[in-house]
Amino acid sequence: MGIMEKFESFLVSHLPVSESFHPYYETSLRQMLTSGGKRFRPALLLGVVGAYNPLMFESAYHIALSIELLHTYSLIHDDLPSMDNADLRRGVVTLHKTYDEMSAILAGDALNTYAFEVLSNAPLSAPVVVKLVRELSHNGGLNGMVLGQAIDCHFENQRLELDQVKMLHIHKTGMLIAASLKMGAIIVGRDDIAGMLYDFGIDLGLLFQIQDDILDVTQDSASAGKTTNNDEAKNSFVTLLGFDEAMREANILAEKLLDQMESFDENLYRELSPTLTKYINRHKEQK
């Protein structure tokens, strides 16, 4: 069984449990977690751990799951009627469509806080756990992902400048991806490369968002596993730049990231390159 298969097994064994007579509260908490997803952020974190101390995988699964929980909460809230009003996510009907908006909001709230419960139970030293809590809360919180979401929603139907759009998406998407790499370095005691990995992750997250914007206009919902052609009012890169220029921006960032990967040490390159190469080049398949 590979590392990501073991992580998936760990996730299933740590699904949120409710001691309640509510008819579908527990099901709503689990629905988006068990519907799959790329598991991109956990893969990045576990790749860094695998490069430097594979014996720490068991401990690192807690941290990888905490990131996936926080990310999943953000998707649930992102799909709400007051935000993107999406019908599909990870190939299944969104929670507010399956149940109701209140249930979706509360499921997101629960996964957000459960992320830190799982993280706090990681079998790591208390100082390391505190560092990890700080990273996840900062990058996923009020000056990170939530700030990006707030800007994204507030400026619908208002054209932003390119630098503003980059700032928006660095916060909304990039910072949690960057944190995944940095938290992997913290777990294995490689604070010396944590900053480099974080900066790399910011560029990777920005590329990831440009690619998502491209996929929004080139894939149908069934292929993407989520509602597409839903960004007309948003400050997406395709909306701002047009398709061809967005592709050019993606190509520039992809080449920059591939060049930076050449400076990785042998172990880090070996562990991260399969995941990174797959996602760095994914926009090139679109027309």
Grade residue 250 by pLDDT with cuts at 50, 70 and 90: very high
The pLDDT of residue 285: 73
Contact (CB, 8 A) for 60 and 187: yes
**Spatial CB neighbours of 164, under 8 Å, sequence gap ≥ 6:** 151, 235
CATH number, domain containing residue 113: 1.10.600.10
Residue 143 has pLDDT above 80, yes or no: yes
State percent of the chain over pLDDT 70: 95
Would you state the pLDDT for residue 64? 98
Residues whose CB is less than 8 angstroms from the CB of residue 129 and which lie 6 or more positions away in sequence, other chains included: 119, 120, 122
Q: Which of 6-10, 127-131, 220-224 has the lowest mean pLDDT?
A: 220-224
**CA distance linking residue 247 with residue 238, whole number of Å:** 9
Under the banding of pLDDT at 50, 70 and 90, the label for residue 1 is confident
What's the whole-number average pLDDT of the chain?
93
What pLDDT digit, counting tens, does each position of 57-113 carry? 999 999 999 999 999 999 999 999 999 899 999 889 999 999 999 999 999 999 999
Distances in Å between the Cα of 7 and the Cα atoms of 45, 63, 98, 104, 204 are 11, 11, 27, 25, 22
Instruction: For residue 59, give both structure tokens.
Output: 């401990």
Instruction: Please tell me what DSSP assigns to residue 92.
Output: E
Here the contacts of 93-96 (C-beta below 8 Å, separation 24 or greater) are 95/28, 95/31, 95/32
Range of the domain at 67: 3-285
pLDDT one-digit tens code per residue, 263-281: 999 999 999 999 999 999 8
Number of domains forming the structure of the chain: 1
What percentage of the chain carries pLDDT values higher than 90? Answer: 84
The pTM assigned to this predicted structure is 0.94
Q: What pLDDT score was predicted for residue 216?
A: 87
